[in-house]
Structure 1
Amino acid sequence: MREVLRDAYRYVNDPLSWTGPGGILDLLGDHLWMTLVAVLLGAAVALPLGLWLGHTGRGGTLVVGVANLTRAIPTLALLFVLTAALGLGQLPTILAVAIFAVPPILSNAYTGVREVPDDARDAGIGMGMSPRRLLTSVELPLALPLIGAGLRTAVVQVVATVSLASLVGGGGLGLVISNGIATQRFGQALAGAALVVAVCLGIEGLLALVQRALTPAPMRTAARPVRGHRVAASDA
């Protein structure tokens, strides 16, 4: 085990591992590109649908339940099915992980809108807001924390799952892992896994900051810890 750790350390600290075609930086670019496209595809489907279902309250539980069933589909099996239909490359990976990005985005968008307080809706209706204006000006801003949490979950899941792209010729950081295993350089495989974890943690932290910045100030202060304990929004 110590030898594997030493090999992993040497691999990460070798400048040749980072530069040139097939280097870590090159593979990281592919990894982040596939992640971005997959999350955008998933959000393009799930976000409008979740907001609309939450706003109308019609059939939301059924649709969200069906979407969550996709989590039971083996990712690798779906990837190979799409590869058989579309060929090798990044496209089957992007489509496969985009499908798995839908449930957290859809569920959180729906739940976020449904949990908007009734008095906030009543105030908007009393001001003569149209249903569309009520959604965009009242419900959506109040639902942003949950929507942001759903996007964060989806992005982290996609970053981790995109590592499977190396199995179908799609590149990404998973190639470091698969090449290490294929050549029995287990230190390299461990280094690749550590790189994927580091990217997940880095993106999670960055998105947490973005989510906080986009959350309305009154909603942030309502949940601020006070004297060693957390005050819920309902207690404010």
Structure 2
Amino acid sequence: MNLFLDALAWLFSPERLVGSNALPVRIGEHLLYTGISVALAAVIAVPLGYLIGHTGRGREVAVGFSGAARALPSLGLILLLVLLIGVTGMERATAAVIAFVLLAIPSLLAGAYAGIQAIDRTTVDAARAMGMTQWQVLTKVEIPLGLPLLIGGLRSSVLQVVATVTLAGYVNLGGLGYPLLQGLELRRYEQILGASLLVIALALLLEGLLAVAERIAVPRGALAGRATDVRGAPTRRRPAAGTPAPREESISS
């Protein structure tokens, strides 16, 4: 309990708001690396996922790649890319971003093609029967209906990248990993816990925002389809028990 209180005291100390190592600066760096990495991953993964989902081809390759990319050791990948690309500031940043992009692609790729493949085929067939082209089916039917699953993949991708960006501190790139690693070197456990709490809070905030976005992304038609279908409901009222049913009029009359 004392360690937790010490961590809160470290977080809310006025010293955390000034200087080059101020927490707002580190949070900004953390969000910058996360945003750039996820955006680049989306540029690569989302069109490829839509192509796989629309055509139904290459799904096995995509699943295999996603599984292999998720198994990559994050820290080892960053250090390997730094050694291959270079050790200057820009080269280290480029290596780290490439590593984060590779880690962000699998979830986005899976969300993109799974969102399209989860659509009822009768809906797609109906769109084609109305005379829509392949491009119109993709952009006006499949992408809007598959958007919630895509945002679900985006949520997983963002959470993974936010957690992994802390490793940027190992190659002196800042972010919230810098105060965490500095606390490890100095054995300041309140600083370690405080920096960890910031990473957790940032991840929860982004998770909440994307959860709301995923809910909003569900098309109204899809929500309406979940309601009870009243078209097949009987139009006649059933007679109460013991009440004789009304007699049909004779055709001759």
Structure 1 length normalisation: TM-score? 0.90
Q: Distance in 2 between matches of 1:90 and 1:205?
A: 28
> What does residue 94 of structure 2 align with?
91
> What does residue 57 of structure 2 align with?
58
The amino acid that maps onto 1:183 is L
Report the aligned-residue RMSD.
1.6
Matched residue SS, 2:131: coil
> What does residue 171 of structure 1 align with?
174
Identify unmatched segments of 5+ residues in structure 2. 229-253
Kindly indicate which of the two structures has a greater share of residues assigned to helix: 1
> Aligned-pair distance for 1:223?
6.2
> What does residue 210 of structure 2 align with?
207
Larger Rg: 2
The amino acid that maps onto 2:108 is I
> Aligned-pair distance for 1:221?
5.6
> What does residue 143 of structure 1 align with?
146
User: Comparing 209-218 with 117-126, which one deviates more in the overlay?
Assistant: 209-218
Q: Superposition pairs for residues 79-158 of structure 1, below 5 Å?
A: 79-88=78-87, 89-158=92-161
Tell me, yes or no, if the aligned pair for 1:90 and 1:169 is still in contact at 8 Å: no
Aligned pairs, how many? Answer: 224
Percent of aligned pairs sharing the same letter = 37
Structure 1, residues 74-117: CA drift from partner, whole Å, max 9, x if none? 11110101111223442222110110101111011111111111
Identify unmatched segments of 5+ residues in structure 1. 225-230, 232-236
> What does residue 12 of structure 1 align with?
11
Tell me, yes or no, if the aligned pair for 1:47 and 1:105 is still in contact at 8 Å: yes
Q: Does 1:182 align with 2:181?
A: no
1:169 to 1:107, Cα distance in 2 relative to 1, 3 A = same
> What does residue 34 of structure 1 align with?
33
> What does residue 228 of structure 1 align with?
none
> Aligned-pair distance for 1:217?
2.1
Tell me, yes or no, if the aligned pair for 1:38 and 1:101 is still in contact at 8 Å: yes
Q: Distance in 1 between matches of 2:212 and 2:100?
A: 24
Structure 2 length normalisation: TM-score? 0.84
The amino acid that maps onto 1:110 is Y
